[in-house]
Structure 1
Amino acid sequence: MSSATYRTLLRAPGAAAFFLTAAVGRVGIAMTSLGIVWLVYGATGSYATSGLVTGGFAVAEALAGPQLARLIDRFGQSRVLPPALLAHTLAVGALLASVHGHAPAWLMTAGGVLAGATIPQLGALSGARWAALLRGERAAELPTAFSLESLANAVAYLAGPFLVSVLGAGGHPMLGTLLAAALVLSGGLALAAQRRTAPAPESSAFERRRANRSLLRPAFAGLIGFNLSIGVFFGATQVSTTAFTVQHGAADAAALIFAVSSCGSLLAGWLYGLSRWRAASRVQLVVAVSGLALASALPPAVGSPLGLGFISVLTGAAIPPILVLLSVLTDKTVHPAALTQAFTWLNSASAAGSAGAAALSGWVADVAGARYGFAVATAGPVVMVLLAVIGLRGHDRDASRTRRVSAAR
């Protein structure tokens, strides 16, 4: 293992520039949703209203994100990002004006919807640039690049919510939303200005049809299932962990458990990216999701927040390899001209799974207790194991068929 692999990647022409500017914008994206919660609650004193506006933002982001990504794949990042960022900035401005003016809840929700529909997924754009940069002779370095992306995402979702919570708790919720919008705008514009590393847009109608057909393949549907399932794990784990600590009279321990899990995830992602693995990606995926399934079955057996904290380190460590492998398999499955759409669809699937599981596990925790809420979280990794095994068998059959045809020739 050597950190030179990360340094080598970032020394590639233009790589450090697009990675770091996208990372800045990611922090803003990570701040936006929670920032809306603080903003609306600070003005209305209602969690119901803040949840409604935030929910509108999340749903719009999940549904409109792939459509925006489709435009980016067709016309290029440099052409689509500036107007999208301008629209997002105006939408955030409209939301701030409606909240400051104590507008009706439906009008604030409309502002949240517009903000969600126009926010670009800068992580997907950065991932597409890595895939274009490392295609061909450097394809073996792609897992390390996606590990770097995973680390950037983890850091963003540690730093972003922390920043916006500090500002919100300090009585400056509007400043948190403004800072989030400024980071998204500055990071996105800086990324759009870097034309040299941007993937080439679709060049013909025939290529567009090929690219769109690749999104309809059963293999990509399986990847959607993976991300939906990992979203189930995320959403149910967050709610169940919070409920568990509250039931044990240690509500403050929830934040510590999440922090410990995130730190374990960061370390595991760093080490995974530094390693050169000989096993095929699909085999690695079976091992990783099996480990997550086993670890996620342990929380119902623990009796204290301390024990849950130890288990959260195990589950957190299993996440980065899974996310990296899903990105690698997506690059192998989808036509390059549709890669931004593919990454964005996977993000939307994860968000949908997280939202549904959070609601279900919350209901289960209220009715039967937090221990049973963890059963919802376990369901996600179990489904991923089934999908990984089915995908591995299908891959083996295809490889065997290819060898027989080659021998016959």
Structure 2
Amino acid sequence: MLNRYREILSLPGALQFALAGLLARAPMSMVGISIILAIRALYSSYSLAGLISAMQVIAFAVCAPVLARMVDRYGQMQVMLPSVMVSSLSVVALIFAILNLAPPAILAILAVVMGATSGSLGALVRARWAYVCKSPAQLQVAYAMEAGFDELVFVLGPVAATLLAASVHPVAGLWVSLAFMVVGSLLFLLQRSTQPPTNRPVPGQKKRSVMRSGTMLALAGTYVFTGALFGANDLSVVAFADEVQMSYMAGIILASMSLGSLISAVVYGARVWSTPLWKLFIGGVVILAFWASTFVFAPNLMVLAVLMFFSGLAIAPTMTNVNTVVQRISPPERLTEGLTWMSTAMTLGVSLGSALAGPAIDLAGHRGGFSFTLIFAWLMVIAALLGIKTLRRVLQQKPVPLPEFEAVQPSHEAAPSSPRPAQPSHETAQH
């Protein structure tokens, strides 16, 4: 089963950038909770902690697509290396501001700078896979593996951040996140042989945003509600655990969902799928919605953990399919932007879900929050169904899943060792 993973990791430079990308993405599951834990401990304010964390997330959502467009135009290292350095310095400044009980306005400014300059490392990694993979089947495996890496980060990151804050120091999680960010980003961005080539605009020619595509809008709408499902679910799990005086179980319950997703990522990527991609996509969305709808009926935490595990089995395949669709329908020179818009949609959805589920939990306990999880789950399905006709048509019109990169290669970059071979048609692609 692991032969397909061994195949893609043996591609030139693949193992190196995959591991560096995993290291660089570790902070994405640690920074938010580390900010909350640090400010809660030193300022004794949940409201301020939530506000500062939310501002960082919103700044990321607004600015990540802009950075992605610049990456597609000028190159990953050229854009993200200075951007990540600015983000890292803002983390250092935020840590010292928290330790010195700086005014909330200072914390807000630093959090906004940090979020605005962090960028979507996951999109950069997936863009490299699209460049180095030689067939749609290889890319499916790569994206499934990356979905598994994401789940691994979300299983371990929050637990590590919580333990560091509790046993070392309230800001220890931020220091560790900073170390991962700097070391991982440098190791990743300095690998220039696998960096996708840039595409400079033709003078006088304006390029449309990838979000003017009906298919991209449908995928983004689906992801907004998927993120809202996750945001409402996280708060509801914490509330359920608090109600039964087992708050320490909240992280374990949430990890059961990530564990299910991690397992499914490994299995999904190891198989060759003959089912059309649009059917795989809508099937995963419906399965996720079904299991998420059962959470509100869970009589205890043990049952909830089992239900969440089964729901997690649909997460990684669904995200793999979405990223694969984005890769197929986006122009090669706009791929990073397209992938980043999906991250932005998910992030905005998480904020929406948390904002709406919180008051519901205050009024009706954990079942009030899980009611919003159920609602968002089926809104996710509706959004997917509204775009499925367009998605099916567009995929059938895309006979070349991995097109040639017609690019202006910077003179200082190493050129690929060999040209990309001709790709099979959509009809013969195995998905």
TM norm structure 2: 0.87
SS of residue in 2 equivalent to 1:279? coil
- Which residue in 2 is equivalent to 1:175? 172
Equivalent position to 2:202, from 189, 201, 205: 205
Contact (CA 8 Å) 2:63, 2:119: kept in 1 or not?
no
CA distance in 1, matches of 2:81, 2:397: 47
The alpha-carbon distance between structure 1 residues 252 and 163, as it changes in their structure 2 partners (threshold 3 A), is closer
1:329 Cα deviation after fit: 0.6
**Letter of the 1:383 counterpart:** L
- Which residue in 1 is equivalent to 2:347? 351
- Which residue in 1 is equivalent to 2:333? 337
The alpha-carbon distance between structure 1 residues 179 and 299, as it changes in their structure 2 partners (threshold 3 A), is closer
Q: Does 1:229 align with 2:228?
A: no
Q: Which runs of 5+ in 1 are unaligned?
A: 403-409
Q: Which runs of 5+ in 2 are unaligned?
A: 399-431
Contact (CA 8 Å) 1:231, 1:354: kept in 2 or not?
yes
Q: Does 1:254 align with 2:250?
A: yes
1:27 Cα deviation after fit: 0.9
CA distance in 1, matches of 2:18, 2:99: 35
- Which residue in 2 is equivalent to 1:293? 289
- Which residue in 2 is equivalent to 1:164? 161
1:207 Cα deviation after fit: 10
1:95 Cα deviation after fit: 1.1
Q: Does 1:5 align with 2:4?
A: yes
1:368 Cα deviation after fit: 2.6
Count of aligned positions: 398
- Which residue in 2 is equivalent to 1:16? 15
Q: Deviations over 1:167-208 (max 9, x none)?
A: 100142333212211211111111111111111111333698
1:56 Cα deviation after fit: 1.6
1:349 Cα deviation after fit: 1.0
- Which residue in 2 is equivalent to 1:125? 124
Which of structure 1's runs of 4+ aligned residues deviate more than 6 A? 398-402
1:338 Cα deviation after fit: 1.3
Q: Deviations over 1:121-145 (max 9, x none)?
A: 21110011011112xx512221111
1:339 Cα deviation after fit: 1.3
Q: Deviations over 1:209-261 (max 9, x none)?
A: 44x44331111111111110110110111111222233334333322211222
CA distance in 2, matches of 1:139, 1:179: 36
1:354 Cα deviation after fit: 0.9
**Letter of the 1:373 counterpart:** G
**Letter of the 2:293 counterpart:** A
The alignment's C-alpha RMSD in Å is 2.1
Say which is worse superposed, 245-254 or 301-310, in terms of deviation.
Answer: 245-254
Structure-to-structure mapping, 1:40-189, within 5 angstroms: 40-134=39-133, 137-189=134-186
- Percentage of matched positions with identical amino acids: 28
1:370 Cα deviation after fit: 2.0
CA distance in 2, matches of 1:301, 1:89: 43
CA distance in 1, matches of 2:215, 2:374: 23
Higher helix share: 1
SS of residue in 2 equivalent to 1:202? coil
Structure-to-structure mapping, 1:293-332, within 5 angstroms: 293-332=289-328
**Letter of the 1:196 counterpart:** S
CA distance in 1, matches of 2:329, 2:258: 29
Contact (CA 8 Å) 1:330, 1:342: kept in 2 or not?
yes
**Letter of the 2:98 counterpart:** V
The alpha-carbon distance between structure 1 residues 45 and 130, as it changes in their structure 2 partners (threshold 3 A), is same
Contact (CA 8 Å) 1:29, 1:184: kept in 2 or not?
no
